[in-house]
Structure 1
Amino acid sequence: MAHPALQKLPTSAPVMNVTKNGKTQPGYIFLSPYDALKGYGFPAIYTDDGELVWQGPPGSITGFQTQTLNGEPVLTYWNGTVSMLGFGYGSIHFLNQTYDEIYRVTLSDGNRTFKTAMGSQFPSYIDVHEDAITNRDSVLVTAYNVTSADLQSVGGPKDGWIYDGQFYEIDIVSNDVLFSWSASDHLNLSDSATPLAGSGNNQSNPWDFAHLNSVMRYGDEYILSAHGYCSVYALDSKGDIKWTLNGQTGGDFKLGAGSRFCFQHAVRIESQTNNTITLRMHNNDNAPFLKGTAATTGLLLDLDFDTMTASLIRRLWDAEEVVYPVTQGSYQNLTNGHVLLGHGAVPKFEEYDDAGSVVMRARFGYDNIMSSYRTFRAVWSGKPTAKPSVYACLAKYNGVEQVRVYASWNGATDVQSWDLYIGNEKDKLQKATTAVYNGFETEIRLQTSSKYALVNAVQISGSAQSEVVQIQGSC
């Protein structure tokens, strides 16, 4: 990781321990490592070999990924305030290839109709769970409003309280709400798979009955995942439920062998034919109130609308390192039949080949301390407008005094080498050597009595110089 003088951010990126057993697909790894002990994290891009490429601004970051907006690649992530139960109140950030923010989507509450378990008001009420760009330049987000509800049907009080799971479609440019949906208006409380467990008695301890955690646009309709119901719903353009796939009872479908699931994340439609829809999901099969004995898997299911059956197409898990995350996770289809599974609360992800073999596994922290809500792989070209960074200092190696230079350029993806310039006057530096690019931070050593140094990043598309720095007295 970066030399302390180069690392201006308040936290360092976690070390990525990578094991490869085969050929992986092209692209960088995108994740949002969150340190529970420090209470914050950041968006981060890594290479396949676990080398940091870009470390973004600190915060409570989730959902970091690449998407397409107006035909151009963008980075998106959520940032805000996270509650103890994993909900949040924040905004969606959109960055271009230079890492400059171009849009920020918020969900304000001028009428103060939103209530929170914390009793606080926030400038934006978008939750942590979704930031999916649609084909009409809008973004789908979730939100949670604490509201009163009659809980007698589930053994709770008449004057009870719930987290009402909601989702919104918001225009990215204007920030106008295009569509909204509320779980309490469409789902029966008694069908929830989530026990009250002492919650629901007051506003500060509401019952999380639905826990919406992913939504995608499907033509003029929506596909919604309700973790708390172990269910996937298809909604028409008005928000009415067209069909339900319940991972325990089947809902409107008959479950085939191996197609059961529960407490799932990141549900997406992968493909469709005239009478079949293929769904993919991260099947946690665990929740915080369970003992965590079911192995988490990635599932690919076919829904046949002629026979109304759900059939297992693919089930993926790492038999050598089985995981049991109780929250979060992702399933991403790559090219050539490869799949990337991220495990959320467990700081681990794997890539599988078309035969289901693990070709790459990586860990980036300890369980229950480090996490990343979702993990993705994507091709990316980073073009930072900020200058490269450099630090130079004196050190002794085998009794010989030398200058050590540390060169880095946060987010650049096409640096080939570094030209080092040194001299005794700031404006009269001479090229001393060229070093091949060697990861996020390249170390250059040489013997010199010079006082100043700068580096020039040599790229495929050009070059960029750092500021001139004074060589420090000691490393």
Structure 2
Amino acid sequence: MSRTAMGRFSQAFILFASCFSVAKSAGKELWPLQKFKSSSIQTPFMNVTKMGTAEPGFLFLTPRDIIRETGHPAIYSDDGQLIWQGPSGNYSALQPQMLNNEPVIAYWSGDVSRGFGFGGITIVNSSYDEIHRVTLDCKAENFVTIYDPMTFASCIDIHESEITDNGTILVTAVNVTEADLSAIGGPKDGWIQDALVYEIDIKTNEILFRWSAYEHIDQMPLRDVRAPLDGSGGNKTDPYGYPHLNSISKYGDSYLVSSRYMCSLFFIASNGSVTWHLHGQTGGDFELGLDTSFCYQHDARFKFQSDERVTISLHNNEHASFTGHTSLTTGMVLDVELQGSKRVTLKSRMWDSTEPVYAESQGSYQSLGNGHVLQQHGSTPKIEEYDENGTIVMRARFGYDKTMQTYRTYRYPWVGRPATKPDVVACLDGKNGKSTVYVSWNGATDVEYWKVYSGTEVKETAVRNGFETTILVDGLTSSDSVVVAAVGGVGDGMRSESVTVGQC
């Protein structure tokens, strides 16, 4: 794509409509941003309330400011302080994981469209350096897009970035495909958003597994889709949203796949056949028990698996832009009997009864240690943690409804080892004769305190206080220079560049 075309594309499709569907509205109140003296970073305030003991670890998310049209990958501590912010752009499916026994962060970035996207997966190490960029050659895979003949360098979709134990990564993709829609009242020569699953070798970019929903339409029929046609499907620029896959996990040689618009989970064998189908409204291959229905769900994962039974967790939106009603968003855990009765039983359901959420799209459910659960609500910028009894122990907000969002949020242990140096600004206050030194180090997690040097002399020592620490120093003039050194942690002894004291 040319630079000019890319610019037009980004301006035209900057919002993740449908899956990321919130319209910009005039007069919407802006969520306040944290701003710093030593860094140009601006990031949403994370408003955290704790009612109990949360699990250790940092919060990983991709906050997107819909009104200001900015987004970035980010890490926060759960006292609301920023730890790291990556560059601005379109981001999704951020997930801290392990690769070759080393902690990494994987996230999607690229161009966004109406509920899907075209991009690649970036994998960064603990120094935030890119070590892999996983892509999918659109031309080699014969992809057609709604922007044809406009082309893209990579056709990986926004919805998944799960790394396996074998050094591969699971991703989704969307290919515009001709299809007969007459069974659901559409045109016989219609068009759909065929959803594909890929498993790709991270080092070589080799495709190891490919699966197309439409190629298995006999096991994934159009009649199971709950999204209305609403005039779509008549041409390739407005294809029908079948089936909108939004999470993939691998178990053994098989894959658990979630289809948002089919309100369904599919377990797919290595040969591509559907082993079983759990429909959240009709049951599919199973019998739904009391309170086990779900729809428009996200982030389905196995908590337990055997030949006889699986236990599945998911984020149950039960709500979409086209439903015409508002349903409570909950986290759900279901027991599914694979043999015998084939009955689905509700194991647990959780929601914040004090501040309930009605999320139209996106969201995540993460099982933590000690029975805790972290739940995040996508288009509603709210994070919750529950203890082993289902009692809420933390609420966190990073925006007003319909102004901020993130696709998922994870809690994860992390030691940041930034390859950069600390950032410093120093200025002299002529009124009191004191100098103020501001220091930050984007991505550092365990600095204990800072030392301010002028020449070889230590002028002041201060305990690190959040992303940016403010240090008052006596005895400096506007002609002096200072260097600030980190003390403690993996970056112990790292010094900033020398900066001259300016005027405040």
Deviations 1:8-41 (A, max 9, x none): 35xx110001111000001011111011223331
Aligned to 1:425: none
Cα pair 2:318 2:328 within 8 Å, conserved: yes
**Structure 1 residue 108 and structure 2 residue 137: aligned?**
yes
Cα pair 1:87 1:127 within 8 Å, conserved: yes
Tell me the distance in 2 between the aligned counterparts of 1:362 and 1:198.
39
Residue 192 (structure 1) shift: 1.1
**Structure 1 residue 457 and structure 2 residue 486: aligned?**
yes
Residue 188 (structure 1) shift: 1.4
Secondary structure of the residue aligned to 2:215 is helix
Aligned to 2:52: 22
**Structure 1 residue 419 and structure 2 residue 441: aligned?**
no
| Gap runs ≥5 in structure 1 | 423-427
Deviations 1:148-192 (A, max 9, x none): 111111111122111111111100000011111111111212221
Residue 5 (structure 1) shift: 4.5
**Structure 1 residue 431 and structure 2 residue 458: aligned?**
yes
Residue 429 (structure 1) shift: 4.3
Secondary structure of the residue aligned to 2:303 is strand
Residue 4 (structure 1) shift: 4.5
Residue 111 (structure 1) shift: 4.1
**Structure 1 residue 350 and structure 2 residue 379: aligned?**
no
| Gap runs ≥5 in structure 2 | 1-32
Tell me the distance in 2 between the aligned counterparts of 1:294 and 1:34.
24
Task: Mark the CA change 1:384 to 1:63 in structure 2 (over 3 Å): closer, same or farther.
Answer: same
Tell me the distance in 1 between the aligned counterparts of 2:187 and 2:35.
57
Match of 1:207 among 240, 245, 267: 240
Cα pair 1:33 1:372 within 8 Å, conserved: yes
More divergent stretch after superposition (269-278 vs 311-320) = 269-278
Deviations 1:107-139 (A, max 9, x none): 012347211123321000000000011121100
Secondary structure of the residue aligned to 1:464 is coil
Aligned to 2:335: 302
Secondary structure of the residue aligned to 2:106 is strand
Match of 1:446 among 473, 486, 491: 473
Tell me the distance in 2 between the aligned counterparts of 1:165 and 1:274.
28
**Structure 1 residue 331 and structure 2 residue 365: aligned?**
yes
Aligned to 2:19: none
Aligned to 2:5: none
Tell me the distance in 1 between the aligned counterparts of 2:401 and 2:98.
32
Number of matched pairs? 464
**Structure 1 residue 78 and structure 2 residue 112: aligned?**
no
Cα pair 2:211 2:272 within 8 Å, conserved: yes
Aligned to 2:151: 121
Secondary structure of the residue aligned to 1:336 is helix
Tell me the distance in 1 between the aligned counterparts of 2:223 and 2:307.
34
**Structure 1 residue 41 and structure 2 residue 71: aligned?**
yes
Residue 258 (structure 1) shift: 1.3
Identity level (%) = 48
Task: Mark the CA change 1:34 to 1:2 in structure 2 (over 3 Å): closer, same or farther.
Answer: closer
Aligned to 2:25: none
TM-score relative to the length of structure 1:
0.95
Letter matched to residue 326 of structure 1: E
**Structure 1 residue 158 and structure 2 residue 191: aligned?**
no
Match of 2:309 among 269, 272, 276: 276
Alignment of 1:353-432 (within 5 A): 353-395=387-429, 399-422=431-454, 428-432=455-459
Cα pair 1:3 1:406 within 8 Å, conserved: no
Aligned to 1:240: 273
